[in-house]
A and B are shown apart, each in its own frame.
Chain A
Amino acid sequence: DTAVSQTPKYLVTQMGNDKSIKCEQNLGHDTMYWYKQDSKKFLKIMFSYNNKELIINETVPNRFSPKSPDKAHLNLHINSLELGDSAVYFCASSQDWGTGYGNTIYFGEGSWLTVV
């Protein structure tokens, strides 16, 4: 049973298109995240939702819009794709937002987005 699953795994699309990546977790976690890993392997947080409420929105172009229909799902929609959006996007989840004791983050396998 996959804990955090995201689809599609690979996505090749043209500049200007709109695309979505879907994510689901079956761990019963309250908090979900989107991370972006660039070509230099640097992993950076984009968004975080806790109980369907947006709690982190890093400096991300507003072409990126997360949507959390329920606690188990966090989708990422990207409008007007640009070449620089090419990266690996990881969905992740954790038990909750954190009480200061530290929460393990469980990552999905990643979605490889290539914009041509």
Chain B
Amino acid sequence: SQKIEQNSEALNIQEGKTATLTCNYTNYSPAYLQWYRQDPGRGPVFLLLIRENEKEKRKERLKVTFDTTLKQSLFHITASQPADSATYLCALVFTGGGNKLTFGTGTQLKVEL
């Protein structure tokens, strides 16, 4: 079965630095990968989508890379701000899986002043 791993330990960084979160997967190749943000007590909110044939995607201060050889995606937040503090979830749809998202366990990011 598919397994998606994210750093279970919280990531603490200083304001202004770049936060880098990792998402690793095993077994089958995904058709595409998404990143979501979840704040305490709220539902996940979509951030970025990257397809298997794309290496990199950017949106404002966010950047996602996708390495299907390493079976890994990296999620970067540049010039991080305290407001970026949240849990970030990666989610994959595997080929032939329609729109069935399989989520990782999420990484909690805390940006400190």
Contacts and interface: CB of A to CB of B under 8 A. Distances in A.
Given A43-B44, A110-B42, A102 B51 contact: yes
Given A97-B98, A100-B31, A105-B99, A110 B49 contact: no
Instruction: Tell me the interface secondary structure of chain B in the complex.
Output: strand
Determine which residue in A98, A106, A110 has the highest number of CB atoms from chain B within 10 A of its CB, and name it.
A98
A92 B101 CA distance: 11
Interface residues of A, number: 28
B105 A45 contact: no
Interface of B: 31-32, 34, 41-46, 49, 51, 87, 89, 93, 98-103, 105-106
Given A90-B43, A97-B99, A105-B99, A42 B105 contact: yes
A100 B99 CA distance: 8
A52 to B, nearest CB: 16
Determine which residue in B44, B51, B105 has the highest number of CB atoms from chain A within 10 A of its CB, and name it.
B44
23 contacts: A40-B105, A41-B105, A43-B103, A44-B103, A45-B100, A45-B101, A48-B100, A56-B98, A92-B43, A94-B99, A97-B99, A98-B98, A102-B34, A102-B49, A102-B51, A102-B93, A103-B99, A104-B34, A105-B34, A105-B46, A108-B43, A109-B42, A110-B43
A31 interface: yes
A101 B43 CA distance: 23
